[in-house]
Amino acid sequence: MRSPAQLQTFLANPNLAKIPTPEQVKKLPKALLHDHLDGGLRPETIIELADEIGYKKLPSKDPIELAKWFEEACNSKSLVRYLETFDHTIAVMRTPKALRRVARECAIDLARDGVVYAEVRGAPELFTGSDMSMEDVVKETIIGFSEGVEIAQDEGNLIRVESLLCGMRQNNLSKQVAELVVKFRDRGVVGFDIAGPEDGFPPTLQQDVFDYLRREMAHFTIHAGEAYGLPSIWEAIQLCGAERLGHGVRIIDDIDRSGSEIKLGRLASYLRDRRIPLELCPTSNLQTGAAQSFGEHPIGILNELRFRVTLNTDNRLMSATSMSNEMNQCVKHFNWNFSDLQRVTINALKSAFIPFEERLEIIEKVVKPRFAEISAQ
């Protein structure tokens, strides 16, 4: 039996009730809110950049073997081990030329996968050195994205890429990063995030940063509810004022599914009632142990319960994934149809950190028409 929302969608466009094929999924417009710049490099690029700077620590200089190594190293079920793989990608990104190239290729690769809007995040402090300050990192990243968008357009692919700047939980540079967010807003940067190990580094350790961002009316999301549980989510929302949750998958711990009727706890109810977006990254979550299999991932039930679910890649290299792959897995394991995929796409755009009218334009002029066209094929 269809829910009222599903029935309304079906009556408006019966084609959206169909199950898409992988070929159709590839053509669908996609919106991405949670993608790490240093987690999406092409293996070939890593090898070439390593050669340029004399970096000798790569586990392989064969692109196929290197890609396989990253994926296998990240299948440890440990967030700490997962994060260690970034040592290699960060090491080769610490020059202006390299950073600009990685950002440029990121935009091109996302566009080729059908992504029409993306917010890509990175921590400026990770790429600084003799060649770049944190401000330089921001500038080079923005330039790289712009170059990639132009190349994508030449290839016939429409995409808009914005930057999120990350502070690292375990360090004390987040205030400087937040100031760069304010300085570069309306110039390619749309918001702030805090990343790094959750356990032992609650977001409230940097409460002053979030207070500053709120005073400046700047947007921010917080990694919470990935490796750590409900207290992390509660702090991020109630004390820090997060507009979105990076992952937030552990909200499932506040949903009782043991009986015949599903019961939401107070935090889960608040999250759903306030329409706080969840930046869910299923394949990544499998690697860090948040779920044992894709079919058991909470995104299925959270979508059914109408949380503000968004679908994301997190780290395309480490997870050997793409937006098309994440969508195809949801179709395969949860029987998602065009309507489900359109919903999470629109959810992402509703939750984006760009002005309302610009979000609405992408939804009405790009997403809905293309979903209608492709579902009718």
Determine the pLDDT at residue 9.
58
Question: How far is 80 from 20, CA to CA, in rounded Å?
Answer: 36
Question: φ, ψ for residue 220 (rounded to 5)?
Answer: -155, 150
CB proximity list for 172: less than 8 A, separation 6 or greater: none
Residue 162: CB atoms within 10 Å:
20
Mean pLDDT per 10-residue section of the chain, whose length is 377 residues: 56 88 98 98 98 95 95 81 87 96 98 98 92 96 98 98 96 96 97 88 93 98 90 95 96 95 97 98 91 93 97 97 98 98 98 98 98 97
Cβ–Cβ under 8 Å, residues 189 and 182: no
Cβ–Cβ under 8 Å, residues 102 and 145: no
DSSP 8-state symbol, 318: T
Token look-up 């502070």 returns 167
DSSP 8-state symbol, 220: B
Question: How far is 117 from 111, CA to CA, in rounded Å?
Answer: 9
Determine the pLDDT at residue 5.
56
Determine the pLDDT at residue 8.
60
E strand or H helix that includes residue 161 = strand 160-168
Point out the catalytic residue in the list 119, 140, 226, 279. 226
Determine the pLDDT at residue 2.
55
Which of 309, 59, 55, 81 minimizes the C-alpha distance to 197? 81
Q: Which domains does the chain have, with CATH numbers?
A: 4-375 (3.20.20.140)
Which of 280, 270, 223 minimizes the C-alpha distance to 249? 280
**Is there a catalytic annotation at residue 304?**
no
Which of 240, 300, 228 minimizes the C-alpha distance to 276? 240
Cβ–Cβ under 8 Å, residues 131 and 86: no
